[in-house]
Chains A and B, each alone.
Chain A
Amino acid sequence: MLPRIIPILLLKSRGLFKGKNFQNHKYVGDPINAVKIFNEKRANEIMLLDISAGLENRILDIDFVQSIADETYMPFSVGGGLKSVSEIEKCIQHGAEKVVLNTSVILNPALIKEASSIFGSQAISVAIDYQRSWGRIKVFTNSGTKATNLNVIDWAQNVEDLGAGEIILNNIDNEGSYLGFDCGMVEKTSSKINIPLVAGCGAGSLADIRDVVNAGASAVGIGSMFIFRRPHNAVLISYPDVNEIESLFN
């Protein structure tokens, strides 16, 4: 099975945004258009995260989830402010394959257990955002604005034990940098868990995808590289075709 290559679209309500290092988010366009293009380009899967929902104490737009479900023929996950079983249920009943949880499960880890025993592990993904801070690596919450004292690997193991089906590992320092993934952390984390790991943040080339998969990632999450065209970061949605992906791993 080829690793999944997953475009990650960051939303603020109904707008598509993109930043660097979880900051300076700029409006990029209409997310529905972007999703339609990824659908036409036959993306393996797509992830939609409303990065302002939690900060604004709301959840992502459910009508938007429904319109994505209606207009696409690919699996997708959604996240943004989700903190209860009933909110997760809404997302799944409106067509999301799975939900992405982060801040809410750090505050209330039991939600992972509760949700996976209703929707199945495969429907519950947990994102872990981390950053180097004062020489230590720390897990952050609230869209990367708040440091915790959690250790990445301990938290990843805990998340698996509670019943999550997947972990998305985001190195805040690499987001939007095109410098490549944090293969070291991916290798250390992946070797300690038995659920798939999605490596996020830092993709600059197809070779970066191959490297992080070799380090143990089951899938990659990619934003800037699929949304912008360098060197001037003009908005241009792209996605590798299946032959390109196959040749990476042969």
Chain B
Amino acid sequence: MKITIPNIQLSNLRSIKYKLEQLGYEVIIADSEKQIKEASLIVFPGVGYFSAAMAKIRESNLLDGLNEYVHGYKKPIIGICLGMQLFSSFSEEGNVGGLNWIDGTTKKIFSEDNLKLKIPHIGWSKVLWVPQNSLGLNTDDTFYFTHSYHLHCNNKSDVIAWCNYGITFTAAIFHENIAGFQFHPEKSHIEGIKLLKSTIDFFCK
């Protein structure tokens, strides 16, 4: 199985590549539109400020290829943290449009009931999986979150897991060929790596 990571410097691509290789996958870091179009599964990691990240994606010359890959070819992509949020239509973080692959808005975590809620949400939180979700994921494990914004999906059916921190927000999504995690599976010890592997294997079966 070959995994492609677009070469957009939104996070540490090398160590994600290394970790996926340790799971037995072949990994390429794609620099060209051609490589994106030829991919069979894309992992899209990201940390950072939404509008700054979008600017980097536009500068990368991979955007057309990514749109074609996701919308035209309908091939699988897995977003991690900001990577997933970037799939949304719009973000309050910088007030800009996103990749518009998922019908939803990236919003700041805000709780009317708890104005003293500490933001960002940083730490290990329990993820509540929707029963019989499309990815077949169902664990009691906690995963590592670090974010101030969350993805509000307009179609509830796109949400396959929730998390509670002041509010209830999206922890994971699945929509046709698109999956995403708000938490960091690659930084969540063995449980996180297992979850990443089972998501990749879901798309490859």
A binding-site residues for B, Cβ under 8 Å? 1-4, 42, 44-45, 66, 69-70, 73-75, 92-98, 116-123, 165-166, 194-197, 218-219
Contact = CB atoms under 8 A, between A and B. Distances in A.
B49 A117 contact: yes
Interface in B146-168: 146-148, 165
A123 B121 CA distance: 12
Contact of B48 (A42, A120, A165): A120
B165 A120 contact: no
A123 B187 contact: no
Interface string B165-177: 1000000000000
B96 interface: no
Contacts of A66: 12, 14-15
- Interface of chain B, helix or strand or loop or mixed? mixed
A3 B123 contact: yes
B123 A4 contact: yes
Contacts of B192: 73
Given A92-B47, A194-B116, A75 B15 contact: no
A95 B18 CA distance: 12
8 contacts: A3-B123, A44-B123, A70-B14, A94-B14, A98-B146, A116-B49, A121-B120, A123-B48
Among B49, B117, B148, residue most surrounded by chain A Cβ atoms (within 10 Å): B49
Contacts of B193: 73
Interface in B51-104: 52, 82, 93
A118 B48 contact: yes
Contacts of A119: 47-49, 52
Contact of A2 (B123, B184, B187): B123
Contact of B144 (A75, A92, A194, A197): A75
A73 B190 contact: yes
Interface of B: 9, 11-15, 18-19, 47-49, 52, 82, 93, 116-125, 144, 146-148, 165, 184, 186-190, 192-193
B176 to A, nearest CB: 28
Contact of B52 (A3, A118, A122): A118
A45 B188 CA distance: 10
A122 B11 contact: no
| Most chain B CB within a 10 A radius of its CB, from A66, A116, A165, A218 | A165
A195 B147 CA distance: 12
A120 B122 contact: no
A104 B123 CA distance: 26
Given A2-B123, A92-B12, A122 B118 contact: no
A194 B47 CA distance: 21
A189 to B, nearest CB: 12
Given A42-B189, A70-B15, A94-B12, A122 B147 contact: yes
